[in-house]
Chains A and B, each alone.
Chain A
């Protein structure tokens, strides 16, 4: 797989504080890469380094093989990005703003501008002054601006900020299409775990300036699950049920009033359930319902990994 972004041993200080510590990772063409981390971990700093807003201190960053310090213009031609909130020239129209960026890049025609505008859904409002746009509209315009020049790498900082649910879904679809069908590398940093879960192929977690993990989404979630599905039984007598399950060498824990959570090993679900239910029935252990609990979310995995719940920001 072709490398889109490569960081090697990147260190960065902001003032006296070391914000990034020996950061190294790669992202590839055609994937949606989620960049996660608690507040203050260094996500925005990394992104700013990637796009040249901050200067490199130590280490190398290359985009599609081009070093961003040595071959800045070539490297940046591959990149489209939004950092923090998308700010435009409020006294100009959306179209005029896009024309500004079109002029700075090669090969962006009027048709392409129209194409992108309709892609993000702004065709009706593109000729109004940006100062009259809502936050969601500005976000869409920012996205349009990124995509004008068919970049190979899209770098997005909190792109769902301000979008309504329809907009979020639309964005998700656009990004996945760009990655999987057009071969763009989409590098997204976000806090919305539910969104990241639906969108990302691989995920990198940064904590305190250090890279904690880089895994595929599947790996991230199944690990925590430990390869089993949790079923919740609404039981008449929870203790009886628990014992019965444990006798079958299944893990069972109380899950609230009258509830028992039994871990059924995935891959053997049907078999084990059949056995368990039959055992419970034979022993007259009554249960009203049994249903699979939603598997652990990315959010939980994230919390576990970063070990922070409502702590002070470093």
Chain B
């Protein structure tokens, strides 16, 4: 059998066109990565308003009756214009809070700090206010003041917008959510305990990041994993394109696998050999499986390599953080990313088998390739359509079950589609494909 598989792989790799396909794919891959880099622009865009836009803002808020908001912008116009202070600066937020709830002395103090950019003073005041608030428990105080204490300790000017500031503010907001939900829970009004769990987890992760100085991080979100900017984001967003490319490559080769032997007439010589037809059939399919594995892995690695090259390795050292209920754990971003990719790779194998089957039964490469490419590109659309129209038996179609990653996260197209169900549907389809293909090949009169 090994010799047979070796024969089959020779038939693929001695063909010029195989390499043309590979070359095109690699080119496309690099092109996509380059496009991503080119479109991401340089850094975050921050808004430094000019006089005209300020007047607009002020007029707008005044017309809406939002006096405090207008006052904030007026302050900016009068004090911070042309000062290279961005519109999302901590200063404006501080003013907002003070205008909304503070007394005159506090407002004046805040304005002074905003004018001079005295963020240390401002944060120190925040910490003091939290400490003095008797409503909070000690534990609450510790958590609420932590972001500010951290920034003060590490001398991080918010106007520079260091990554720690974003995370610290995230922590602050998470803590606020946790406390609010806990209050609801205490009074028996909490409807969704999962929300509380999530807020807690987010808070823990944010704190962990600050304490352990983890700048680049991947986390699990509601709709999948979120990757840090740079290499991992580029790889993740191109994953599906790479999968489609690989699928097309495999489809084309699988579509010619059996039918080419017939159209060129070499099938006669292939079959006049002391080898049962069944063995020949399986050797072809096993070769295609091996080729699929190699292609998919190579596709992922090549994509990763291209991303590292083009993104300059930004974010490559990221960690995956998750809260397991008791502590924050670190995981491998590579594993997560690869896992998502290979979960989607199932569809590539299925489409390849479909193409192989059509090639075996109809002996036409063109039909095999045409039908499978159409299914690949259109299949998922059709299923979405069916889901929207509430056509429930759509769940039994192969296309509804190839998005294993989504299903594992509970975002399947149809309700109550478990991973087990999807795997069974896939297995049945594959068994049917192979049965039909094998039957067609073994019984064929040449």
Contacts and interface: CB of A to CB of B under 8 A. Distances in A.
Interface of A: 14, 48, 51-55, 72-77, 79-81, 83-92, 96, 100-101, 103-106, 142, 145
Contacts of B16: 91
B14 A54 contact: no
A151 B273 CA distance: 11
Interface stretch (B162-170, B230-238, B264-272, B340-348): B264-272
A133 to B, nearest CB: 14
Q: Which 6 A-B pairs have the closest CB atoms?
A: A87-B265, A76-B274, A77-B274, A53-B446, A103-B3, A104-B273
Nearest to B283: A104
A55 B271 contact: no
B272 A89 contact: no
B437 to A, nearest CB: 18
Of the candidates B3, B7, B269, the one having the most CB atoms from chain A within 10 angstroms of its own CB is B269
A90 B443 contact: no
14 contacts: A51-B272, A55-B443, A73-B274, A76-B275, A79-B274, A81-B272, A83-B268, A88-B269, A90-B264, A92-B11, A100-B10, A103-B3, A104-B273, A105-B273
Nearest to B273: A104
A79 B273 CA distance: 8
Interface of B: 3-4, 6-7, 10-11, 14-16, 264-266, 268-269, 271-276, 443, 445-446
Contacts of B15: 91
A79 B268 contact: no
Of the candidates B15, B264, B274, the one having the most CB atoms from chain A within 10 angstroms of its own CB is B274
Given A88-B266, A92-B10, A101 B273 contact: yes
A125 B65 CA distance: 93
Nearest to B275: A104
A102 B268 CA distance: 16
Nearest to B4: A104
A42 to B, nearest CB: 15
Contact of A96 (B10, B269, B273, B275): B10
Contacts of A80: 272
A18 to B, nearest CB: 15
Given A55-B443, A96-B10, A104-B3, A83 B274 contact: no
A105 B269 CA distance: 12
Contacts of A81: 272
A87 B264 contact: yes
Contact of A92 (B4, B6, B14): B14
A81 B271 CA distance: 11
A53 B268 CA distance: 7
A85 B265 contact: yes
Contacts of A51: 271-272
Contacts of B269: 86-88, 101, 142, 145
Given A87-B266, A88-B266, A103-B3, A52 B272 contact: yes
A103 B274 CA distance: 11
B258 to A, nearest CB: 14
A90 B274 CA distance: 23
Of the candidates A52, A54, A55, A100, the one having the most CB atoms from chain B within 10 angstroms of its own CB is A100
A153 B264 CA distance: 26
Contacts of B11: 89, 92, 100
Contacts of A77: 274
Contacts of A75: 274
A148 to B, nearest CB: 11
Contacts of B276: 72-73
Contacts of B445: 14, 53-55
A145 B266 CA distance: 12
B278 to A, nearest CB: 10
Contacts of A14: 445
Given A85-B265, A100-B7, A104-B7, A53 B272 contact: yes
Contacts of B6: 103
A237 to B, nearest CB: 62
B1 to A, nearest CB: 11
A81 B274 CA distance: 12
Given A55-B445, A89-B266, A100-B10, A73 B275 contact: yes
B318 to A, nearest CB: 45
Contacts of B272: 51-53, 76, 79-81, 83
Contacts of A83: 268, 272
B274 A104 contact: yes
A89 B264 contact: yes
Contacts of A53: 268, 271-272, 445-446
B20 to A, nearest CB: 13
Nearest to A75: B274
A193 to B, nearest CB: 26
Nearest to A74: B274
A158 B3 CA distance: 31
Contacts of B10: 92, 96, 100
A120 B265 CA distance: 22
A86 B10 CA distance: 20
Contacts of A79: 272, 274
A96 B14 contact: yes
A108 to B, nearest CB: 11
Nearest to A53: B446
B442 to A, nearest CB: 10
A87 B266 CA distance: 5
Nearest to B18: A91
